[in-house]
Structure 1
Amino acid sequence: MKKIYHLSSCNTNQRILKELELGDDVELQDIKKENIDEKTLDFIKEKVGSYEAMFSKRAMKYRSMGLNEINLSEEDYKKYMLEEYTFLKRPFIIFDDEVFIGNSKKTVEAARKAYHGN
């Protein structure tokens, strides 16, 4: 499976998609229109080790909901990401058995190399 969960209204996500130079074999899913499903979230968690690693603490709602003031459990992170797309670190990139999360240069470059095989 080659799939990218992204936010189409995000300039950073748009830039990353261009940098990756993707072919027609990659499915794109705009998480604002259709949030990630639990099965996929669980798959990614198995690859990266925790739900917290997938959770965006930069999301505006993180502070406005007071989540920054409490200790969240792994189940809490999962629940919030399934309820609200803004809590997802983005993009989530799945290339077969490899998973890349976030928009750091290092992550984007690793995803590009994995996709193009170089």
Structure 2
Amino acid sequence: MKKIYHLSSCNTNQRILKELELGDDVELQDIKKENIDEKALDFIKKKVGSYEAMFSKRAMKYRSMGLNEMKLSEEDYKKYMLEEYTFLKRPFIIFEDEVFVGNAKATVEAAKKAYQSS
């Protein structure tokens, strides 16, 4: 499977998609139109180790909902990501058995190498 969960209105996500030079073999899912489902979230969590690693603490709602002042559990992180796409640290990139989360330069470079070698 080759799939990317992204936000089409995000300039950073658009830049990353362009940088990856994707072919027709990659499925794109705009999380604003269709949020990630529990099965996909669980798959990615198994690859990265925790829901917290997939959770964006930069999301505006993180502070406005007071989540920054709470001690969140793994189940809390999962619940909030399933309820609200803004809590996803995007993009989520899946190339077969490899998963890349977020927009850090090293993460994008690793995803690019993985895609080009697939």
Match of 1:92 in 2: 92
In structure 2, C-alpha distance between the alignment counterparts of 1:101 and 1:45, rounded to whole Å: 10
Provide runs of 4+ in structure 1 moved above 4 Å. none
**Cα deviations by residue, 1:4-41 (Å, 9 ceiling, x for unpaired):** 00000000000000000000000000000000000000
In structure 1, C-alpha distance between the alignment counterparts of 2:87 and 2:105, rounded to whole Å: 20
Q: CA deviation at 1:117?
A: 1.1
Matched, 1:115 2:106: no
Paired residues, what number? 118
Q: CA deviation at 1:101?
A: 0.3
- In structure 1, stretches of 5+ residues that fail to align are none
In structure 2, C-alpha distance between the alignment counterparts of 1:96 and 1:73, rounded to whole Å: 29
**Cα deviations by residue, 1:92-111 (Å, 9 ceiling, x for unpaired):** 00000000000011000000
What is the TM-score normalised by the length of structure 1? Answer: 0.99
RMSD over equivalenced CA pairs, Å? 0.8
Q: CA deviation at 1:85?
A: 0.0
Match of 1:35 in 2: 35
Match of 2:59 in 1: 59
Indicate the SS of the match to 1:89.
Answer: coil
**Cα deviations by residue, 1:34-69 (Å, 9 ceiling, x for unpaired):** 000000000000000000000000000000000000
In structure 1, C-alpha distance between the alignment counterparts of 2:34 and 2:116, rounded to whole Å: 27
Match of 1:20 in 2: 20
Indicate the SS of the match to 1:99.
Answer: strand
User: Percentage identity across aligned positions?
Assistant: 90
In structure 1, C-alpha distance between the alignment counterparts of 2:61 and 2:104, rounded to whole Å: 22
- In structure 2, stretches of 5+ residues that fail to align are none
In structure 2, C-alpha distance between the alignment counterparts of 1:107 and 1:117, rounded to whole Å: 16
